[in-house]
Structure 1
Amino acid sequence: MVKVSVIIPTYNALAYLPQTIDSVRQQTFSDWEILLVDDGSTDGTAAWAEALGEPRLRYLSQPNQGCATARNRGLDHAQGEYVAFLDSDDLWHPTKLARQVAYLDSHPERGWVHTWVLNTDAEGRLTQHLLASDLEGFVWPQIAEENLVFCGSSPLLRRSCFETVGQFDPALKSAEDWDMWVRIATRYSLGVIREPLTFYRQRPSSKSNRLAFHLEHRLRVIDKSLGDLGPEFEDLRQRAKGRAYLSVAWKPLLTEDYDQALALRRQALAYYPGLRFSRNYVRLGLIVRGRQWLGRAGYEQVLGAWRSLRRWGRSPHSHESAPTAPATAQPASK
């Protein structure tokens, strides 16, 4: 039996898919299979997959039904002890699977393990936006309030988790991964690897950046997870809704729609006034105002100068243990 099943749902993502597949083939851990689930692509994905000649890749095709159904199709065919999901435009550090497999092998009490996440731009160039959470243990309240796993391409899970909690909800066309993590967190303990081993591509056209659509589904996940609980969970429901609005408020930065970013940021406070003092709330406001005053290019120049000063002031040995980017990801130019 193969150790890890890597499930990659794809829909018309051939511009990015070769890099994504390469980041799996470059893993230092080699006992894996890829289940490439083509959700009705019309961009030549089928012919490309056949020509690839990768014996560890199985190509599965279905009519377009959405990411949740595609992931479920992969689960139906998965043979691995562990399962990882990789979006068709995201990337992995070469040691990701090795580190996560070693962790789950040595922590039988954990059901799943996530890593820190580093954003890339649309071209796959690394940015400085690190998504880092130390979340571990039994974390249902924290996961129900906010998706602190950040990216569906981050966790490695025991296949037995899905035998217990079921498959992805096909009624959810976005945020279906968060819904799954909430359900898994009710039964399984979470581990963490405190290094950015997952690279999350930010594209204005991606599903999570369709603002109203994605926000609607985030709110549906909250209602599904918390709606039937008693009044003692009302504070948690309100905090979750506030964090949903704040999370979506970052998305308009990709299209430079700063008025919308600020409007969503204000709506977040209506549900959860305590967010006013959170790092994400303050940081988003500073970025928006900085770009409005200086322009995006001017803001990036100031930010680059500030980062250079920070690096200059650090010890020359401070980055020795930092992971390097895979060959498919490059540092973003200023």
Structure 2
Amino acid sequence: MVQISVILPVYNGASTITDTIDSVLGQTFQDVELIVIDDGSTDDTVSVLETCNDERLQIHQFENAGQGESRNRGAALAQGEYLSFIDADDLWTPEKLESQWQALQTHPQAAVAYSWTDHIDEHNQFFRSGPHLPFSGDVYKKLIISDFVGSGSNVLIRKFAFEEVGGFAPHLTPAEDWDLWVRLAANYEFVVVPQVQILYRTVTTSSSFNLAKMEASSLQVMERIFAQAPPDLQDLAQRCRGHRYKYLTYKALDLTPQRQRARAAFRFLALALWYDPSLWRRRVIWKVVLRATVAVLLPQAGLMSLLTRQRKLFDIEALLFHIRFD
């Protein structure tokens, strides 16, 4: 029996999946199986997969059911004592699995290990930093406030814990990661590996992030969280909602903001400020208002030229880092 089962769900990922597979099979920790779940791809994904000659790789094809269900399907097939997941366009540094596995050996009371994340672009080049937070032990309260893990490509989980909490909830896509982390943290400790080991791909020319779907699934996750949270944590509800709407504000204005998305940003920002009035004291809020305003008023070409020339004036990265965990 292998130690670690890596589950890789893919839908039309022919252009990136080879690099992703190489980053898994090239790990310093070699006692792994890689279970690829093809989620009904219609491009050349399967043909690309079939060129990979490694006995640790398994390919399973299903009708399209979404990422959450694909991850659960892979977990059901897994033989390993530990589970890890990676999306078909993300990458790992070579020591990711070994570092997280060792962290769980050193901290037997923990069921989840996670590392730090940075973002890369379409060409595998560094784009920006992700969450670099040092939380270990009982992180339940902190995960209720905000999903600091960063992505579904991050964690290493003891399989029994994943099964105990019921795996991913597919109907909560694309917020199903956060939902699972919270359910795990309610029952088990986490341990951090304080190194950047997950390279999360951001397509810098894309505005395909589905804001409406993320808002709807986030609201469902927050409802589930506070339906199950103990009485002494119920007062976190407003702060939790404030942080989530702050995240949605950022996503609405990220990369190549468009007029419709900028209008949505005003609504998200208003809700973020309503739930978390402390945001009024943050200077980045006025940069957010300015970025949203010019995105509504200017044509796309003029907007991108202005954002490029006045990058510092319109930089809203700080919005993601103003999180009150205490």
TM-score > 0.5 by shorter chain = yes
Q: Are the aligned partners of 1:290 and 1:299 in contact in 2 as well (CA < 8 Å)?
A: no
**Structure 2 partner of 1:27:** 27
Shift of 1:89: 1.0
| Seq. identity, % | 35
RMSD: 2.6
Say whether 1:266 aligns with 2:270. Answer: yes
**Structure 2 partner of 1:255:** 256
Q: Are the aligned partners of 2:9 and 2:86 in contact in 1 as well (CA < 8 Å)?
A: yes
Shift of 1:60: 1.1
1:114-133 pair list within 5 angstroms: 114-133=114-133
Task: Provide closer, same or farther for how the CA distance between residues 199 and 283 of structure 1 changes in structure 2, counting only shifts above 3 A.
Answer: farther
Bigger RCO of structures 1 and 2 (CA < 8 A, at least 6 apart) = 1
**Structure 1 partner of 2:217:** 217
Task: Provide closer, same or farther for how the CA distance between residues 64 and 245 of structure 1 changes in structure 2, counting only shifts above 3 A.
Answer: same
Q: Are the aligned partners of 1:242 and 1:270 in contact in 2 as well (CA < 8 Å)?
A: yes
Post-superposition Cα deviations, 1:243-289, rounded to whole Å, max 9, x if no partner, equal 11111112131222455445422321112212334xxx644654774
Write the distance in 2 (CA, Å) between the matches of 1:229 and 1:196: 31
1:197-208 pair list within 5 angstroms: 197-203=197-203
Say whether 1:78 aligns with 2:78. Answer: yes
Write the distance in 1 (CA, Å) between the matches of 2:263 and 2:46: 41
Structure 1 unaligned spans of 5+ = 305-334
Say whether 1:99 aligns with 2:99. Answer: yes
Q: Are the aligned partners of 2:83 and 2:156 in contact in 1 as well (CA < 8 Å)?
A: yes
**Residue type at the aligned position of 1:273:** P
SS in structure 1 at match of 2:119 = strand
1:43-58 pair list within 5 angstroms: 43-58=43-58
**Structure 1 partner of 2:321:** none
1:275-294 pair list within 5 angstroms: 275-277=279-281, 282-283=283-284, 285-286=286-287, 289=290
Q: Are the aligned partners of 1:116 and 1:194 in contact in 2 as well (CA < 8 Å)?
A: yes
Write the distance in 1 (CA, Å) between the matches of 2:74 and 2:163: 14
Q: Are the aligned partners of 1:20 and 1:89 in contact in 2 as well (CA < 8 Å)?
A: yes
Shift of 1:236: 1.5
Post-superposition Cα deviations, 1:71-109, rounded to whole Å, max 9, x if no partner, equal 110010111111111011111111111111111112111
SS in structure 2 at match of 1:227 = helix
Q: Are the aligned partners of 1:250 and 1:284 in contact in 2 as well (CA < 8 Å)?
A: no
**Structure 1 partner of 2:297:** none
Q: 1:296 aligns with which of 285, 307, 317?
A: 307
Structure 2 unaligned spans of 5+ = 295-302, 316-326
**Residue type at the aligned position of 1:269:** L
Task: Report how many aligned residue pairs link the two structures.
Answer: 300
Q: Are the aligned partners of 1:67 and 1:173 in contact in 2 as well (CA < 8 Å)?
A: yes
Say whether 1:192 aligns with 2:192. Answer: yes
Shift of 1:47: 1.9
Shift of 1:66: 1.0
**Structure 2 partner of 1:14:** 14
**Structure 2 partner of 1:242:** 242
Moved segments of 4+, more than 4 Å: 204-207, 228-234, 281-285, 287-294, 300-304
Write the distance in 1 (CA, Å) between the matches of 2:122 and 2:249: 19
**Structure 1 partner of 2:323:** none
